Amino acid sequence: MKHPCSPRIPGTCTLVGAGPGDPELLTLKALKAIQAATVLLVDDLVSDAIVAYAAPTARVVYVGKRGGCQSTPQTFIEKLMLMAVQEGERVVRLKGGDPFIFGRGGEEVEHLRAAGVEVQVINGITAGLAATTALGVPLTHREYAHGVVLVTGHAKPGDSGTDWRQLAATAHSARLTLVIYMGISGAAHIQQELLTGLPAETPVAIIQNASLVQQRHALTTLEHLHHTIADTGLGSPSIIVVGDVLQGLAASSTSLHPATGTYAH
Ligand code: SAH
């Protein structure tokens, strides 16, 4: 049923996952949507090589923190999307990784649907998956991990955030791999809390800029997580992986991309 406020010639709105950075990891569906868009609202972590697939006539609006500026407030982004759709544009909201993993895609969809706009969502490869695959490591393994937890290291203001102690205990007993997004700045706290339930020697990997030519990583253990980040200078955007799926890698680390990798401890 059409919403009473629907425009007569409505445009379309698609949330597109741009994947972790390497344009070759885009889905065909994502590529087609980018090429067909007349307006693109682009997040920070989307690489220029992907935006370059947009039509030369398309209007590209960067809404991330590029150039050291503040990122565009979420409500303003949602307003922009709505206005463009109402003007009959084919709007693509281009987000890093997958739109529904820590990308606030859920909030955008809710807002647009509440305004009567149908939204299509196209999956992208999420950074946590690309980061481990880049090291040749699986997220699950019959010997080491029965499941995976994708978790943010960064809570919304006013939110107490993840209960890391609880998570550590569960990850230990249920044998889960932890994939931590946005965990760099809180790494010292995360390490301290996870150590209450996981062994100090639990393998950890930090992967920055996964899938891009600038990719770097470090292998360490939980007790050295924070120091390894400080020593190597690894920064955002990075994924922190914690768990025994990294065991084989830790044992054979010298054979792994020595030119780009950083090995610690
Ligand atoms: N929707 C995105 C996540 C957005 S949150 C996704 O599915 O991947 C932003 C966080 O994602 C970053 O702080 C970082 O933790 C992670 N991230 C995004 N791209 C990355 C990359 N290429 N390499 C490593 N981490 C990345």
135-156 residue pLDDT tens: 999 999 999 999 999 999 987 7
Question: What's the CATH fold of domain 12-122?
Answer: Cobalt-precorrin-4 Transmethylase; domain 1 (3.40.1010)
Identify whether the C-beta of residue 138 lies closer than 8 Å to the C-beta of residue 245: yes
193-206 residue pLDDT tens: 999 999 999 999 99
Distance (angstroms) between ligand 1 centre and the Cα of 2 equals 36
Task: Provide, rounded to the nearest whole percent, the portion of the chain with pLDDT above 70.
Answer: 88
Instruction: Pick 120 or 7 by higher pLDDT.
Output: 120
Q: CATH 3.30.950.10 region(s) of the chain?
A: 127-256
> Of 247, 194, 180, 251, which is closest to residue 223 (Cα–Cα)?
194
* Residues 6+ positions from 188 with CB-CB distance below 8 Å: 226
Residues with CB under 6 A from ligand 1: 20-21, 45, 95-98, 101-103, 126-127, 131, 181-182, 207-212, 236-239
Residue-level pLDDT at 78: 86
With bands split at pLDDT 50, 70 and 90, how would you rate the model's confidence at 28?
A: very high
With bands split at pLDDT 50, 70 and 90, how would you rate the model's confidence at 255?
A: very low
Give all strands (DSSP E) within 56-195, no chain letters: 59-62, 90-95, 119-122, 147-152, 176-181
Is the pLDDT confidence value at 52 over 80? yes
Q: CATH 3.40.1010.10 region(s) of the chain?
A: 12-122
* Residues 6+ positions from 125 with CB-CB distance below 8 Å: 17, 19, 20, 25, 97, 98
Distance (angstroms) between ligand 1 centre and the Cα of 9 equals 36
Residue-level pLDDT at 259: 35
* CA-nearest residue, atom 11 of ligand 1: 181
Averaged pLDDT, 81-110: 93
Residues marked active site are found at: 43, 65, 182
Averaged pLDDT, 122-130: 98
60-82 residue pLDDT tens: 999 986 545 567 788 888 888 99
Is the pLDDT confidence value at 8 over 70? no
Identify whether the C-beta of residue 161 lies closer than 8 Å to the C-beta of residue 189: no
Average pLDDT along the chain: 89
Distance (angstroms) between ligand 1 centre and the Cα of 86 equals 31
CATH node for 127-256: 3.30.950.10
pTM to 2 decimal places: 0.90
* CA-nearest residue, atom 18 of ligand 1: 127
170-226 residue pLDDT tens: 999 999 999 999 999 999 999 999 999 999 999 999 999 999 999 999 999 999 999
Is the pLDDT confidence value at 253 over 60? no
* Residues 6+ positions from 158 with CB-CB distance below 8 Å: none
Is the pLDDT confidence value at 7 over 50? no
CA distance 263 to 265: 7
Edge-to-edge strands of the sheet including 176-181? Answer: 147-152, 176-181, 238-242, 203-208, 216-221, 261-263
